[in-house]
Structures are given as C-alpha cells and as structure tokens.
Amino acid sequence: MFDRAMATVIATSAACAAAVMAVFSLGFSLYALMLPMVGAPGAASIVALVATLGVALFALFAAYRRKEKEREAAALQAQLMEEAPLMGFGLGDIARERPIVTLAVTALGGLLAARHPGLARDLLSVVARFGRR
C-alpha cells in the first residue's frame, strides 16, 4: 500500500514538473518571438500579459465549476428536504425559534439513552429503517 502511494506521489510530481516546464518554455518562446518586434521590455510585458490572462481564465473556469457544484448541492439538499418526513412538522423552525426547549429535549434524550441504551438502540433502528425508504 505504501509503494502504491509513493508511486502516485512520484507520478503526480512528474506531471507537475512537466506542466511547469511547458509553461516556462511557452513563456520563453513567446519572449523570444516578440523580442525582435517590440524589444526586451515589450516582450516581457507581453509574456506577463499572456500569463495573467491564463491565470484569469483558469480562475474563471474554477469559479464556474464551483458555482455549478454549489447549484447541484443546493438542488440535492432541496430534494432531501422535500423527502424528509419530519420536516413537514416544522421541527427546524422549532429549533430555531426555541433553542432552550431544543436543548432541554436534547438533554432529556441523552439521559434517556444513558439510562436505557436498549430502548435508544431500538428507536434508532426504527428511525434508520424509516429513513431508508
């Protein structure tokens, strides 16, 4: 297992090194291509501009993917909230509006579970069976 993990680390490092070399060589070749036309300062600024545009495009792509994943997660959560059987009774609203009552009920449930673990196990198995449907 350790050999497989090390092989994965080595392969990832090699891929990263290849990517760095490709970016460096692209920048150097762009600099060499632009040097005769615009001079050293112009070529350096063009290379910096291209690098900045590349980073900006990568950031836009990453932000788009993040928003897409957030939308998918929100849709999944909304579907889960619709399917949840107890949410129709407003238990989330009770917990939000009356936190002291919620704390008391939670403490009472903990005491009940400590005094009667078999009952707590049976109740949890019933809830788990009901939640699988």
* Residues 95 and 72 both lie in one domain: no
pLDDT tens-digit readout, 44-59: 999 899 989 988 999 9
Question: Are 72 and 108 contained in the same domain?
Answer: no
Q: Where in the chain does DSSP place strands (E)?
A: none
pTM of the full structure: 0.48
| pLDDT cut 70: percent of the chain above it | 89
Do 69 and 121 belong to one domain? no
Instruction: Show the tokens assigned to 5.
Output: 């993990």
Q: Are 92 and 73 found together in one domain? A: no
Total number of domains in the chain: 2
The answer to whether residues 60 and 113 belong to one domain is: no
Q: Do 102 and 46 fall into the same domain?
A: no
* Tens digit of each residue's pLDDT, the chain (133 residues): 778 888 899 999 999 899 889 888 988 898 898 889 999 899 899 989 998 998 899 999 999 999 999 999 888 888 877 766 555 555 666 777 888 888 888 898 888 888 988 888 888 888 777 766 5
Determine the structural domain holding residue 110 and report its residue range. 87-133
Question: The dihedral of CA 55, 57, 58, 60: what is its sign?
Answer: positive
